[in-house]
Amino acid sequence: MAGTRTRGKCPFEWAQTPSGTCYYFAEHNATWREGRAYCRNQGATMLDIHSNQEKEFITERMVGSSWLGLRRKNDEMEFKWISGAKMNYTQWEELSITAPAREAECALMGMNGLWVYEPCERNHGDGDEDLSPEAYVICEYLPVYNPFVLIGPVVISCGLIVLVLSIEICIRRKEFKEKNPEVMIDDEDEDIRHVSLTCLCRVCLSG
């Protein structure tokens, strides 16, 4: 089918859906900001949910309430996926927005698959303790098969074969010229013209 791409495989310890998306279920709690940084370091993004099938795949494997890559910034009315994906699916437990957010709010999903939201960060208390809410982190990305991973070594191998054959032909032609100096060699009449490295042969013969 036009426009389709072959899916790649997920790294070790990542779970993969039939559609090809890879998920990593981190076994530690973190703030929303820490979770976003963690997923970025994995070359991934925070969890997006766009269907019941995807939600069920996640809830069967998650170990506790987990962050979504979903937030609304200060003074914004709507939640948006930080990945830039369209907001085409929701599972809010309760959502009643009548005014812009006074502070950034981030969404998380419970074990029941329902979404709630909390302030992304909270001010520090009297001490140095960070009071920002924490939850588990789930990262996701869609691997794409790169044919050059296999084609590259093949091209290199072919190039080496051509190089070796060209050198062999050069050596044989040089030996023939030394034994038969009266015979003129016409490059155009030799099979060497089929080799892309003809210039290498001429360098050999000039020695």
Q: What is the CATH number of the domain that holds 124?
A: 3.10.100.10
Band (pLDDT 50/70/90 cuts) for residue 51 is: very high
Q: For residue 112, what pLDDT is reported?
A: 94
In a domain, 101, yes or no: yes
Whether residues 38 and 95 fall in one domain? yes
Whether residues 131 and 162 fall in one domain? no
Q: Is the pTM of this model over 0.75?
A: no
Q: Are the CB atoms for 2 and 135 separated by under 8 Å?
A: no
> Average pLDDT for residues 13-26, to the nearest whole number?
92
Query: How many domains, the chain?
Result: 2
Q: For residue 3, what pLDDT is reported?
A: 31
Whether residues 94 and 185 fall in one domain? no
Whether residues 156 and 137 fall in one domain? no
Whether residues 113 and 159 fall in one domain? no
Whether residues 28 and 99 fall in one domain? yes
User: What tokens were used for 145?
Assistant: 């098969």
> Average pLDDT for residues 49-68, to the nearest whole number?
95
In a domain, 7, yes or no: no
Domain end, chosen from 141, 168, 186, is at 141
The domain of 198 spans 148-205
Q: For residue 169, what pLDDT is reported?
A: 73
In a domain, 9, yes or no: no
Band (pLDDT 50/70/90 cuts) for residue 174 is: confident
In a domain, 2, yes or no: no
Residue predicted with more confidence, 184 or 14: 14
Domain end, chosen from 141, 162, 186, is at 141
Q: For residue 181, what pLDDT is reported?
A: 65
Whether residues 117 and 200 fall in one domain? no
In a domain, 10, yes or no: no
In a domain, 23, yes or no: yes
> Average pLDDT for residues 117-124, to the nearest whole number?
81
In a domain, 94, yes or no: yes
Whether residues 86 and 168 fall in one domain? no
Whether residues 167 and 94 fall in one domain? no
Whether residues 20 and 85 fall in one domain? yes
Whether residues 117 and 171 fall in one domain? no
Residue partners of 22: CB distance under 8 A and separation at least 6? 10, 11, 14, 15, 16, 44, 140, 141, 142, 143
